[in-house]
Chains A and B, each alone.
Chain A
């Protein structure tokens, strides 16, 4: 177990490698109840969240969700989050555990001019994620709702063993799967039932270590590592999330400025060309000069490679560029590769 933003979280159950492989090839179960939930209700809920985030909430349909970010005035990322639209008067913002208080204060600081109420409902919600190619068939055994009718990034109320849950087809692993929001009182019961039902399908409970390697293979950013208050969405390769034409939002002017001036650095994915893994914080060198730092580095259990993310100047950011990674003082060769490192094969039906 490890302390994480005030929560006791398991690093692993059976081990990072079997847990990681279970999610890629069967299914894995994650207790992610530490994630924060902030709810915005009222006539101007959409207006407020559109002012504070980069994606276009006004274009989001009811029962849909999207990935987005809060920016500061300098264009730095305050947090990355999912916005769940229940209705135009009710949004649920799912934020990182370590930033929930910061996010809440930021929202409240700007909420006065908008007709809506903001509440931190994190203490009420538990979140269980079931991820992997067999996630749907396992979860389907607990409900009469037809889960195959829930498209990617859509959510609805589903009864699991008579417990009302908000079930969303989304996740942080690069696989198909669901994120289940429910009253924490019922979470242990649902967790245990899923483990029993899923055992003959290869479902394994998964800890933080597997969660990290799964998201890294899929190049999903980890707040505090790959993105923070000093990095912009453009630098982080998250420009696709930003809807510049949706109207003004906090941080928009700074992003426009960055676009005019050009970026100083870019987040790239790299692969080590040696057996030594890269780790968070290792320095990146080109021609003997430190040009950047690894923000996430790890062995990738499914790809069986050592991979990482690092910020480097744009001239070293194109695919195929050679980089050196300083591993305990020794320069190990690496190469910039296309990301995501891993992309699941989609099954069309």
Chain B
């Protein structure tokens, strides 16, 4: 099934998305990423206050068969984590761009957003990967 990737999100090559709201960004994994992972059984998130560079691993998401690292699309400080995922990790599958969000960060440098893709670009990026 072909997902549509809305243009109000930015997307990374590592299949994370970020929704920007002023100084804050909400981050999760894309529909394509959750599809590739299969049923998510565990999400490990950082502590509030932790800071990461762009592209740094900030946590991990696990399915039955594998562990995958999560990479922060832009640099920032974690201001909130989605604690609900501890009990309902399957939300990442059912609503990856909504209730399945993972962390909120205070954005260090908004200019980094220009290095990310918008909906149309990410859609063709996923197609070019051949479903990989």
Pair B44/A12 contact, Cβ less than 8 Å: no
B41 at interface, CB cutoff 8 A: yes
Is chain B's interface secondary structure helix, strand, loop, or mixed overall?
Answer: strand
Complex interface residues of chain B between 80 and 111 (CB less than 8 A to chain A): 86
Pair B65/A277 contact, Cβ less than 8 Å: no
Pair B44/A299 contact, Cβ less than 8 Å: no
A275→B44 CA distance, assembly (Å): 10
Q: Which residues of B contact A254 (CB under 8 A)?
A: none
Q: Which residues of A contact B1 (CB under 8 A)?
A: none
Enumerate 20 A-B pairs (CB-CB under 8 Å) in ascending A order: A12-B38, A12-B65, A15-B39, A16-B39, A17-B38, A17-B39, A17-B64, A20-B64, A213-B64, A275-B42, A275-B86, A276-B42, A276-B44, A277-B62, A277-B67, A298-B65, A299-B41, A299-B42, A301-B64, A327-B44
Chain A 12-37, CB within 8 Å of chain B: the 1/0 string?
10011100100000000000000000
Pair A16/B38 contact, Cβ less than 8 Å: yes
A-B contact number at CB 8 A: 37
Chain B, residue nearest A300 (CB): B64
A11→B37 CA distance, assembly (Å): 12
A16→B64 CA distance, assembly (Å): 7
Give chain B's interface residues, CB within 8 Å of chain A.
38-39, 41-42, 44, 60, 62-65, 67, 86
A15-B38, A275-B86 known; A298-B60 Cβ under 8 A: no
A209 at interface, CB cutoff 8 A: yes
A328→B64 CA distance, assembly (Å): 17
A11-B65, A12-B65, A16-B65 known; A277-B60 Cβ under 8 A: no
Q: Which residues of B contact A17 (CB under 8 A)?
A: 38-39, 64
A17→B40 CA distance, assembly (Å): 10
B88 to chain A, nearest CB (A): 11
Pick from B38, B41, B60, B64 the residue with the most CB of A within 10 Å.
Answer: B64
A279 at interface, CB cutoff 8 A: yes
A277→B63 CA distance, assembly (Å): 9
Q: Which residues of B contact A276 (CB under 8 A)?
A: 42, 44
Pair A209/B65 contact, Cβ less than 8 Å: yes
